[in-house]
Amino acid sequence: MKAKEAVVLAGGFGTRLQSVVSDLPKPMADVGGRPFLTYVLDELCAYRFTHAVLSTGYKHECIAQYFGDSYRSLRLSYAQETSPLGTGGGMLNALQHTVSDRVCVLNGDTLFCADLDALQAFGASHNALLTMALRHVEDTSRYGRVALGGDGRILAFVEKNKASGPGYINGGIYWLSPALFEGRAVGEVFSFEKEVLEAQYSTKAFYAQPSEEYFIDIGIPEDYARAQKELFSF
Protein backbone atom coordinates (compact mmCIF):
# COMPACT_ATOMS: atom_id res chain seq x y z
CA MET A 1 0.00 0.00 0.00
CA LYS A 2 1.30 3.44 -0.94
CA ALA A 3 2.25 5.75 1.89
CA LYS A 4 -0.32 8.43 2.65
CA GLU A 5 1.24 11.78 3.50
CA ALA A 6 -0.23 14.98 4.87
CA VAL A 7 0.91 18.52 5.58
CA VAL A 8 -0.71 20.25 8.56
CA LEU A 9 -0.41 24.04 8.65
CA ALA A 10 0.30 24.81 12.30
CA GLY A 11 2.24 28.07 12.20
CA GLY A 12 -0.52 30.58 12.89
CA PHE A 13 -0.17 33.36 15.49
CA GLY A 14 -3.73 33.11 16.73
CA THR A 15 -4.06 36.88 17.03
CA ARG A 16 -7.85 36.81 17.48
CA LEU A 17 -7.53 34.18 20.21
CA GLN A 18 -5.03 36.08 22.33
CA SER A 19 -7.74 37.09 24.80
CA VAL A 20 -8.39 33.42 25.68
CA VAL A 21 -5.24 31.59 24.54
CA SER A 22 -1.93 33.35 25.14
CA ASP A 23 1.66 32.28 24.52
CA LEU A 24 0.70 29.28 22.37
CA PRO A 25 0.34 28.63 18.65
CA LYS A 26 -3.35 28.44 17.81
CA PRO A 27 -3.35 24.66 17.07
CA MET A 28 -1.98 24.01 20.58
CA ALA A 29 -4.96 25.68 22.27
CA ASP A 30 -6.37 23.39 24.95
CA VAL A 31 -9.68 21.77 24.02
CA GLY A 32 -11.04 19.13 26.34
CA GLY A 33 -7.74 18.74 28.14
CA ARG A 34 -5.53 18.27 25.08
CA PRO A 35 -4.22 20.38 22.20
CA PHE A 36 -6.71 21.05 19.41
CA LEU A 37 -4.11 19.73 16.95
CA THR A 38 -4.54 16.21 18.35
CA TYR A 39 -8.09 16.10 16.98
CA VAL A 40 -6.77 16.91 13.50
CA LEU A 41 -4.06 14.24 13.76
CA ASP A 42 -6.65 11.73 15.01
CA GLU A 43 -8.50 12.22 11.71
CA LEU A 44 -5.31 11.40 9.79
CA CYS A 45 -4.83 8.28 11.88
CA ALA A 46 -8.43 7.22 11.19
CA TYR A 47 -7.69 7.37 7.45
CA ARG A 48 -4.44 5.42 7.86
CA PHE A 49 -2.01 8.17 6.98
CA THR A 50 1.55 7.17 7.77
CA HIS A 51 3.42 10.51 7.69
CA ALA A 52 2.46 14.06 8.58
CA VAL A 53 4.60 17.16 8.17
CA LEU A 54 3.79 19.89 10.68
CA SER A 55 4.42 23.32 9.19
CA THR A 56 5.35 25.42 12.21
CA GLY A 57 6.39 28.99 12.92
CA TYR A 58 5.26 30.96 15.96
CA LYS A 59 6.25 29.14 19.19
CA HIS A 60 7.27 26.12 17.12
CA GLU A 61 9.07 24.59 20.08
CA CYS A 62 5.74 24.08 21.90
CA ILE A 63 4.55 21.75 19.16
CA ALA A 64 7.81 19.84 18.77
CA GLN A 65 8.22 19.33 22.51
CA TYR A 66 4.69 18.02 22.90
CA PHE A 67 4.57 15.63 19.93
CA GLY A 68 8.17 14.63 19.23
CA ASP A 69 8.66 12.43 16.17
CA SER A 70 5.40 10.48 16.26
CA TYR A 71 1.74 10.61 17.24
CA ARG A 72 -0.11 7.31 17.48
CA SER A 73 0.48 5.62 14.08
CA LEU A 74 1.83 8.78 12.43
CA ARG A 75 5.47 9.55 11.81
CA LEU A 76 5.93 13.29 12.28
CA SER A 77 8.31 15.68 10.56
CA TYR A 78 8.66 19.42 11.05
CA ALA A 79 9.00 22.20 8.52
CA GLN A 80 9.86 25.24 10.60
CA GLU A 81 9.49 28.74 9.17
CA THR A 82 12.20 31.04 10.48
CA SER A 83 10.15 33.96 9.19
CA PRO A 84 6.52 33.97 7.99
CA LEU A 85 6.17 32.57 4.46
CA GLY A 86 2.44 32.98 3.99
CA THR A 87 0.12 30.03 3.45
CA GLY A 88 1.57 29.19 0.05
CA GLY A 89 5.17 29.55 1.09
CA GLY A 90 4.49 27.44 4.17
CA MET A 91 2.95 24.66 2.07
CA LEU A 92 5.82 24.64 -0.40
CA ASN A 93 8.36 24.57 2.43
CA ALA A 94 6.57 21.62 4.08
CA LEU A 95 6.20 19.69 0.82
CA GLN A 96 9.98 19.38 0.67
CA HIS A 97 9.58 16.73 3.38
CA THR A 98 7.18 14.59 1.33
CA VAL A 99 7.70 12.14 -1.53
CA SER A 100 4.14 11.37 -2.70
CA ASP A 101 2.66 12.57 -5.98
CA ARG A 102 -0.50 13.63 -4.11
CA VAL A 103 -0.43 15.07 -0.59
CA CYS A 104 -3.31 16.02 1.71
CA VAL A 105 -3.00 19.51 3.21
CA LEU A 106 -5.04 20.56 6.25
CA ASN A 107 -5.29 23.53 8.60
CA GLY A 108 -4.13 22.85 12.15
CA ASP A 109 -6.75 25.17 13.65
CA THR A 110 -9.75 23.65 11.82
CA LEU A 111 -11.40 20.29 12.36
CA PHE A 112 -13.37 19.17 9.31
CA CYS A 113 -14.35 15.50 9.34
CA ALA A 114 -14.76 15.19 5.56
CA ASP A 115 -14.10 11.76 4.04
CA LEU A 116 -10.45 12.13 3.01
CA ASP A 117 -10.43 8.92 0.95
CA ALA A 118 -13.55 9.93 -0.98
CA LEU A 119 -12.05 13.37 -1.63
CA GLN A 120 -8.88 11.79 -2.99
CA ALA A 121 -10.83 9.39 -5.20
CA PHE A 122 -13.00 12.20 -6.55
CA GLY A 123 -9.93 14.20 -7.51
CA ALA A 124 -8.27 11.19 -9.13
CA SER A 125 -11.39 10.51 -11.22
CA HIS A 126 -11.08 14.02 -12.69
CA ASN A 127 -7.28 14.02 -12.94
CA ALA A 128 -7.39 17.10 -10.72
CA LEU A 129 -4.29 19.06 -9.88
CA LEU A 130 -6.07 20.14 -6.70
CA THR A 131 -9.22 18.90 -4.96
CA MET A 132 -10.78 20.88 -2.12
CA ALA A 133 -13.32 19.91 0.53
CA LEU A 134 -16.22 22.35 0.84
CA ARG A 135 -18.62 22.93 3.72
CA HIS A 136 -22.06 24.51 3.51
CA VAL A 137 -22.62 27.26 6.09
CA GLU A 138 -25.48 29.66 6.72
CA ASP A 139 -23.28 32.77 6.54
CA THR A 140 -20.32 32.86 4.17
CA SER A 141 -19.28 36.41 5.10
CA ARG A 142 -16.52 35.25 7.48
CA TYR A 143 -14.94 32.93 4.92
CA GLY A 144 -15.87 33.84 1.37
CA ARG A 145 -17.76 31.59 -1.01
CA VAL A 146 -16.80 28.97 -3.60
CA ALA A 147 -18.93 28.45 -6.74
CA LEU A 148 -19.01 25.03 -8.40
CA GLY A 149 -19.93 23.65 -11.79
CA GLY A 150 -22.11 20.57 -12.15
CA ASP A 151 -19.04 18.36 -12.54
CA GLY A 152 -17.42 19.73 -9.38
CA ARG A 153 -14.99 22.06 -11.12
CA ILE A 154 -14.35 25.31 -9.26
CA LEU A 155 -15.89 28.22 -11.16
CA ALA A 156 -15.24 31.17 -8.86
CA PHE A 157 -14.10 32.43 -5.48
CA VAL A 158 -16.09 35.26 -3.91
CA GLU A 159 -14.09 37.27 -1.36
CA LYS A 160 -15.33 37.25 2.22
CA ASN A 161 -16.12 40.97 2.29
CA LYS A 162 -18.32 40.47 -0.79
CA ALA A 163 -20.00 37.22 0.28
CA SER A 164 -22.98 36.78 2.57
CA GLY A 165 -25.82 34.40 3.16
CA PRO A 166 -25.73 30.60 2.84
CA GLY A 167 -23.30 28.83 0.53
CA TYR A 168 -20.19 26.68 0.25
CA ILE A 169 -16.93 27.74 1.83
CA ASN A 170 -13.39 26.44 1.48
CA GLY A 171 -13.11 23.88 4.30
CA GLY A 172 -9.31 24.05 4.41
CA ILE A 173 -8.62 20.49 3.23
CA TYR A 174 -6.88 19.82 -0.09
CA TRP A 175 -5.46 16.90 -2.00
CA LEU A 176 -2.88 18.42 -4.30
CA SER A 177 0.08 17.66 -6.47
CA PRO A 178 3.37 19.31 -5.52
CA ALA A 179 3.61 20.16 -9.24
CA LEU A 180 1.11 22.90 -8.47
CA PHE A 181 4.04 24.95 -7.17
CA GLU A 182 6.31 24.61 -10.20
CA GLY A 183 8.18 27.84 -10.78
CA ARG A 184 8.05 28.83 -7.11
CA ALA A 185 11.21 28.92 -5.01
CA VAL A 186 11.41 27.39 -1.55
CA GLY A 187 11.47 30.28 0.92
CA GLU A 188 9.32 32.48 -1.29
CA VAL A 189 6.56 34.36 0.55
CA PHE A 190 3.13 34.02 -1.06
CA SER A 191 -0.52 33.43 -0.31
CA PHE A 192 -1.97 30.08 -1.35
CA GLU A 193 -5.49 31.49 -1.42
CA LYS A 194 -4.73 34.61 -3.46
CA GLU A 195 -1.79 33.61 -5.64
CA VAL A 196 -2.67 29.99 -6.33
CA LEU A 197 -6.38 29.28 -5.83
CA GLU A 198 -7.86 32.58 -6.97
CA ALA A 199 -5.20 33.25 -9.61
CA GLN A 200 -5.21 29.82 -11.30
CA TYR A 201 -8.64 28.18 -10.92
CA SER A 202 -9.77 29.33 -14.37
CA THR A 203 -6.85 27.74 -16.19
CA LYS A 204 -6.03 24.64 -14.14
CA ALA A 205 -7.92 21.52 -13.08
CA PHE A 206 -9.18 22.58 -9.65
CA TYR A 207 -12.14 20.59 -8.32
CA ALA A 208 -14.10 20.56 -5.09
CA GLN A 209 -16.40 18.17 -3.26
CA PRO A 210 -18.98 19.27 -0.66
CA SER A 211 -19.26 17.51 2.70
CA GLU A 212 -21.76 18.02 5.50
CA GLU A 213 -19.55 16.40 8.16
CA TYR A 214 -18.57 18.14 11.39
CA PHE A 215 -16.71 21.43 10.91
CA ILE A 216 -15.25 23.91 13.38
CA ASP A 217 -12.61 26.62 13.01
CA ILE A 218 -11.31 27.82 16.39
CA GLY A 219 -9.99 31.09 14.99
CA ILE A 220 -12.32 33.29 17.04
CA PRO A 221 -13.11 33.11 20.79
CA GLU A 222 -16.78 32.21 20.20
CA ASP A 223 -15.91 29.10 18.20
CA TYR A 224 -13.10 28.18 20.56
CA ALA A 225 -15.68 28.17 23.36
CA ARG A 226 -18.01 26.05 21.20
CA ALA A 227 -15.23 23.55 20.59
CA GLN A 228 -14.84 23.10 24.35
CA LYS A 229 -18.45 21.90 24.52
CA GLU A 230 -18.66 19.88 21.32
CA LEU A 231 -15.40 17.96 21.05
CA PHE A 232 -15.81 15.90 24.21
CA SER A 233 -17.73 13.41 22.03
CA PHE A 234 -14.65 12.80 19.84
pLDDT digits (tens, 9 = 90+) for 205-216: 999 999 999 999
What is the rounded distance in angstroms from the CA atom of residue 213 to the CA atom of residue 47? 15
At 175 the pLDDT is 98
Fold of 5-127+170-185+214-233: Spore Coat Polysaccharide Biosynthesis Protein SpsA; Chain A (3.90.550)
The string of pLDDT tens digits covering residues 38-60 is: 999 999 999 999 999 999 987 88
At 61 the pLDDT is 87
What is the rounded distance in angstroms from the CA atom of residue 170 to the CA atom of residue 85? 21
- Per-domain residue ranges of the chain: 5-127+170-185+214-233
At 158 the pLDDT is 87
pLDDT > 80? residue 21: no
The string of pLDDT tens digits covering residues 147-204 is: 999 999 999 998 877 777 889 999 999 999 999 999 999 999 999 999 999 999 999 9
Q: How far is CA 41 from CA 63, 133, 138, in A?
A: 13, 17, 27
- Phi, psi of 192, deg, nearest 5: -65, -40
What is the rounded distance in angstroms from the CA atom of residue 225 to the CA atom of residue 114? 22
- Phi, psi of 3, deg, nearest 5: -65, 140
